[in-house]
Chains A and B, each alone.
Chain A
Amino acid sequence: MYSKPLPPAPTRKSQYGVDPSLVQKRGAELSNITHVPLSELIPDQPSVIYPSARGLAAVRSETEAALAKVDMSMISEGKTVNILASHHGFTFLGGEPYAEMLRTIKDVVAQRTKAKEVRLRAGLGMRFRETEEYIKAFKLDEYFNGKAQGMAPIDAGIPIETSLGTLYGLKRAYDADFIIHAHNSDVREVHFHRQVDRAVKPFGMSYARCETRSTYHMNLGPRAANFVARAIFESPFVQSKFAFAAFMIMSPAGAVTVDADNDLYAINDRTTVGGMKNYGKIIHLFGAVDDCIVILDFPCPVPYVFASGVIYANMVGANIDLFDLDNPLPPYTWYTETYYREGGQPLIPDIPPVNPAIKAVVHNYAWVGYPAVFFAEHTPTIVVGQEQAELFNRDPMNLNYMKHALLADNLDAAMAFAYRTTGTDKVMIFDGASGGLNVSHSLADLLRRVAPGVNEKVDKVLLPKWLAQRDIDVQLLDQVA
């Protein structure tokens, strides 16, 4: 007997995706789809506070408890404070938990300090109005008394002198006396950050100008790039403003707790360990899939659609160990992408291929606003719906996406074609379902069969190696949720 699929994350009205009314069928509604609970695949997952019966109250109380241990004495009367947020947090679990953490930080800071103003500054990736949409959806502008703003990497910048020379931050991020770094711990772009300074990264991204982001993705190399954020964070300018950090600690199953500290590197060590511990197994389980059809079905751009807390970009690279720093180039990063010739041959032979287990991608619902041509170039892709294709054709980052993708009228037609041409009946759906994975019966069988072996390998072989590569004490494993 196979259980019913989990409800997928709802579609979201946004200028970056087709109107939700056009998404006529979700992947989870297909026949032969079931769900595998994460607790069954990975029994030692930590328990979650959200989703849970306690609802958002759990997020508030965990945030309050975490902040109780933080020193805020530096924020004296009349000072201004920017709570720095990022768009990523709003993509978890519908976005409300992260919004509630931000509201709680604001309330606690206002209550404990005599700050003149506590503002929200929400950075973003490449969709320059995305956080404006979240601010509106979660009524954060009202909550912050009209002081909530999105900030884009092309907005006014500010030079920051660092050990890497001059880098550039966003002026609006730093236009207060103090900053609070409010982020989340999911591994997300492990193909980029490689679980090195994960907690520091927004200083080189969400809070940074395009010059700095380009430095990360073009100038330093796939692993060295992660030093950009540390260079900015350690600059005298940023240190003069940094008050503390608060992180929503995530696992593939949901929000585990909230962590806060005046020492960002202490949080960084904990999130590094927690991320490897909680996400290492599911990502390696993805790597054990021998062949499958992937369905993209979540309100985010192509590489950022979620399945069991893991983004599709990690499935694209799951044929190698993304946590192993001895692997210099993941199958997908922006360095890797630049290292292919026009005809698709790599410039040097040791460029790892895109995960060959992905036999086809059915793009049922995913947003524009991220250069996604690479994915359509390397994997057969079928886009559902003319409107979605047109959206990509208009998007300046995806003008060539449909040159490499096929178009189907509807999801059933796309799946029929994918089944016929790939010969596999295994299906993995990236739809943001909470607490488990929506997959075909055949893939559920495979995952259940291989999970114990994957878990054992991660625990006994890989985790100790990953920790040693990052010079982190293995004993921290027992102290981190």
Chain B
Amino acid sequence: MKTVKVQAKVNQELCTGCRTCERVCPVYAAELVKEDKGFHVEIDPSLCVGCWNCEQRCPEHAIAMVACEPFDISTDVSLYDYGQIKELCRKARFHPKQLVCYCTATRAEELAAAILGGAASPEALVRATGVGSGCGIECNQTILRFLEAAGVAWERKKGSYQWMGRTMTNWEVPAEVKQKYAGFRFDSDREIMDRIVQAPVEP
């Protein structure tokens, strides 16, 4: 669960309209709006998940994170069929109780539930669970693996730097790579990951 305590606010005086905020936002909350004489950037508070990406990358330091009325982002796992949740987690090769986001303490079962609830893109999963709104780095592939496992086709917003694509997992490493680079212990690590995926749901 993510408790959003701050949201981005643009100082329009400093903004040069470079669109960096638009491009680094994981939920597409920032938008450059063109006007007759110039432009301004809008950050939609109903979408902003308080990740700080725009504040951290704005070259003009034109964005501040300001306190907001705290609100929680999460998906209630109990509202969905746990059999389906388990199936989707296993298909994505995660254990349902496995932690998938270090920053928000989100577990795999919640990502599965959010997808079952209709989240059909990376940004929708971020908005539904808070996953990906902390460091913005490590759970990137987890999100994309879940969407693919669910058979969800999604499109990257034009111009965005985010969500470039899913990459290879251990289960897909070509045999010739494993053979040539045996010292990296692909199979032994895969055995551990398989055991994690197959571990009982309850201890």
Contact = CB atoms under 8 A, between A and B. Distances in A.
B98 A347 contact: yes
B138 A223 contact: no
Interface stretch (A115-123, A152-160, A250-258, A417-425): A152-160
Given A342-B97, A347-B95, A347-B196, A214 B174 contact: no
Contact of A221 (B95, B142, B170): B170
Given A168-B164, A223-B185, A224-B189, A396 B133 contact: yes
Nearest to A210: B137
Contact of A210 (B136, B177, B183): B136
Given A371-B134, A373-B105, A397-B135, A154 B161 contact: yes
Given A167-B167, A337-B102, A373-B102, A348 B199 contact: yes
Interface in A305-357: 325, 328-329, 334, 337-343, 345, 347-348
A1 B69 CA distance: 57
Interface residues of B, number: 62
A214 B140 contact: yes
B177 A163 contact: yes
A117 B186 CA distance: 41
Given A210-B140, A221-B193, A396-B134, A374 B167 contact: no
Interface residues of A, number: 64
B27 to A, nearest CB: 13
B95 A220 contact: no
Contact of B135 (A348, A371, A374): A371
Contacts of A211: 140-141, 144, 164-167
A328 B185 CA distance: 9
Interface string A125-161: 0101100000000000000000000001111110100
Contact of A397 (B102, B140, B196): B102
A164 interface: yes
Contacts of B138: 210, 213-214, 217-218, 334, 371
20 contacts: A153-B136, A165-B172, A211-B144, A215-B167, A219-B145, A219-B168, A220-B169, A223-B184, A223-B188, A224-B184, A227-B186, A328-B188, A338-B100, A341-B203, A345-B203, A348-B199, A373-B102, A374-B102, A396-B51, A396-B135
Interface of A: 126, 128-129, 152-157, 159, 163-168, 196, 209-215, 217-227, 230, 325, 328-329, 334, 337-343, 345, 347-348, 370-371, 373-374, 393-394, 396-400, 469-471
